[in-house]
Amino acid sequence: MNEASTIRFLTAGLFICIFTNLITNSMTKPIQGFSKLTKEEKIDRIVSNYTHDAEYAKIILKRYWNDDKALQKLHDEFIENTISNYYLPLGIAPNFLINNKLYAIPMAIEESSVVAAASKAAKFWLERGGFKTTVLGTEKIGQVHFMFSGDLNKLKTFFDFVKPKLRSEASDITRNMHKRGGGISKIELRDKTTELDNYYQLHCTFETLDAMGANFINSCLEQFAKTFKQEAQTFSDFSESEKNIEIVMSILSNYVPNCLVRAEVSCPVDELTDADTNATEFAKKMIQAIAIAKAEPHRAVTHNKGIMNGVDAVILATGNDFRAVEAGVHAYAAKDGKYTSLTDASIEDGIFKFWIEIPLALGTVGGLTSLHPLVKLALEILQKPSAQELMQIVAVAGLAQNFAAVRSLITTGIQEGHMKMHLLNILNQLGATEKEKTTLTNHFKKNTATHSSVVEAFENLRSK
């Protein structure tokens, strides 16, 4: 390298360093007062510091705004620091016969083939008597976690003394719920000191009717904690140190094993077929597949993931909290000390039975249900269900999804159906025109779609 090119090389290196430093610095520096910026300012800050093409990014963000200003404001105010909307497709799986009533189930989900699979399972069982469901319980749970170092018997006496006060001092919070037939069901003192030194709980159960009840429960618990602590300070049996009960936290539990719903389908084994499968063989393999999911946690997780494809999609469409449901459902799947399948199947006296029991704490009032226009619509499509009805519909969506997935797995394999549905995504990624999409969709009706076969077929078509 001669002297001139060495200087050019070093100068270029220096510029690259400065530029990279500038970018890195702006990305690694904390953003002060972000929440106080206007939406436009937030967008400017983010796109100019974190994206490659600020103009393009800005256009995208704005394209996803709603022209209806009031509607956009509504969405902006659901959360904090909003810069745009994030769309998910809303699909409908029709023909679900549940306890002799027909439903079209709205599903919000990004994964191709979920809605198609649900629809196919719904149609299959529509012709075989449909789904039967029962709500096994609606109990919600919340806990006040506290530390107490002292005499357990005195704590028990104090608890008996304070219990009526816990209820009465929460009466402002519970009045309306009480009028509608819900409220605080039980308050128990639980000794958890074998698990953690000095640790106790007020373990409380609630009936929240058509509300998911998170705010109601948390408000009650925080009031319980306040009353509990205050009353302890003047409880004469307690020593000075015992009076100082330490409240750690008050919060509902998303583990709700007694907020449980069962959904079931059944039919004679020889009706368990359509054109392409042998009924007895299919029933046998179905039982084996479920047995594997019951026995083996790796398979159980994927098996249950398939169930959650259906469950979450309805939960999202109806404005419920899918994180709460996910956490509770998986804890339930491990309730006996080992993670296992949520569904079960049997063959008795020539009858194939397939069922699910799943904990679902859901609401059809409160939260987003009366705010988000698509949630309102989804609930209307479901004929304005009560929370208990929604539990049954969601459980059915999970069972149907699992039936469809396992059915594919033990017959054609999952990829055939999945890739057919995913085909459009690949063609869109490749930038196919509408005409090319039609030609290739027709082509893959008769041919196996894999990512590479789609790319190859697309390239062949383009080169013609």
Q: Does 406 bind ligand MEV (CB under 6 A)?
A: yes
DSSP summary character for residue 210: T
Q: Which is nearer to ligand MEV, 381 or 409 (CB)?
A: 409
With left for phi above 0 and alpha for psi between -120 and 50, is residue 108 left, alpha or beta?
beta
**Taking every pair of C-alpha atoms in the chain, what is the biggest distance, in angstroms?**
93
Q: Does 303 bind ligand MEV (CB under 6 A)?
A: yes
For the segment 101-120, give every residue that binds ligand MEV (CB under 6 A).
Answer: 111
Apex 340 CA angle, 96 and 282, nearest 5: 55
DSSP summary character for residue 227: H
Q: Does 302 bind ligand MEV (CB under 6 A)?
A: yes
Q: Which is nearer to ligand MEV, 385 or 398 (CB)?
A: 398
Which of 298-306, 311-319, 361-369, 385-393 is the region at the interface with ligand MEV (rule: CB under 6 A)? 298-306
* Phi, then psi, of 2 in degrees rounded to 5: -80, 175
Q: Does 74 bind ligand MEV (CB under 6 A)?
A: no
Which of 87-95, 147-155, 270-278, 305-313 is the region at the interface with ligand MEV (rule: CB under 6 A)? 305-313
Q: Does 272 bind ligand MEV (CB under 6 A)?
A: no
Q: Catalytic residue positions?
A: 111, 305, 321, 418
Q: Does 292 bind ligand MEV (CB under 6 A)?
A: no
Q: Does 306 bind ligand MEV (CB under 6 A)?
A: yes
Q: Does 395 bind ligand MEV (CB under 6 A)?
A: no
**Residue 437 · residue 445 · CB < 8 Å:** no
**Residue 454 · residue 423 · CB < 8 Å:** yes
Q: Does 371 bind ligand MEV (CB under 6 A)?
A: no
- Let me know how many helices (H) and strands (E) the chain has, helices first: 16, 10
Residue with smallest beta-carbon separation from ligand MEV: 306
Which of 299-307, 337-345, 347-355, 381-389 is the region at the interface with ligand MEV (rule: CB under 6 A)? 299-307
Binds ligand MEV (CB under 6 A): choice among 119, 223, 227, 309? 309
Q: Does 305 bind ligand MEV (CB under 6 A)?
A: yes
Q: Does 132 bind ligand MEV (CB under 6 A)?
A: no
Q: Does 145 bind ligand MEV (CB under 6 A)?
A: no
* Cβ-count burial 94-132 (b if 16+ within 10 Å, e if not): ebbbbeeeebebbbbbeebbbbbbbbbbbbbbeeeebbb
H-helix or E-strand containing 164? helix 152-169
The least distance separating ligand MEV from the CB of residue 93, rounded to whole angstroms, comes to 15
Parallel, antiparallel or unpaired: strands 246-253 and 343-348? unpaired
Q: Which is nearer to ligand MEV, 262 or 305 (CB)?
A: 305
Binds ligand MEV (CB under 6 A): choice among 405, 419, 423, 432? 405
The least distance separating ligand MEV from the CB of residue 166, rounded to whole angstroms, comes to 45
The least distance separating ligand MEV from the CB of residue 71, rounded to whole angstroms, comes to 32
Q: Which is nearer to ligand MEV, 44 or 326 (CB)?
A: 326
Q: Which is nearer to ligand MEV, 145 or 418 (CB)?
A: 418
How many binding residues for ligand MEV (CB under 6 A)?
Answer: 10
DSSP summary character for residue 365: B
* Phi, then psi, of 261 in degrees rounded to 5: -135, 145
Rounded to 10 degrees, what is the CA torsion of 422, 428, 434, 436?
-80
The least distance separating ligand MEV from the CB of residue 299, rounded to whole angstroms, comes to 8
Which of 138-146, 169-177, 387-395, 402-410 is the region at the interface with ligand MEV (rule: CB under 6 A)? 402-410
Q: Does 342 bind ligand MEV (CB under 6 A)?
A: no
Q: Which is nearer to ligand MEV, 217 or 423 (CB)?
A: 423
Separation CA 391–CA 362 (nearest Å)? 7
What the block records as the tokens of 462 is: 């383009």
Q: Coil, helix or strand for 42?
A: helix
**Residue 209 · residue 182 · CB < 8 Å:** yes
Q: Coil, helix or strand for 390?
A: helix
| C-alpha pair distances (Å), 318 with each of 84, 372, 399 | 21, 9, 18
Q: Which is nearer to ligand MEV, 57 or 414 (CB)?
A: 414
Q: Which is nearer to ligand MEV, 214 or 449 (CB)?
A: 449
Give the chain's end-to-end CA distance (angstroms, integer). 49
User: Where do contacts with ligand MEV occur on this chain (CB under 6 A)?
Assistant: 111, 302-303, 305-306, 309, 405-406, 409, 414
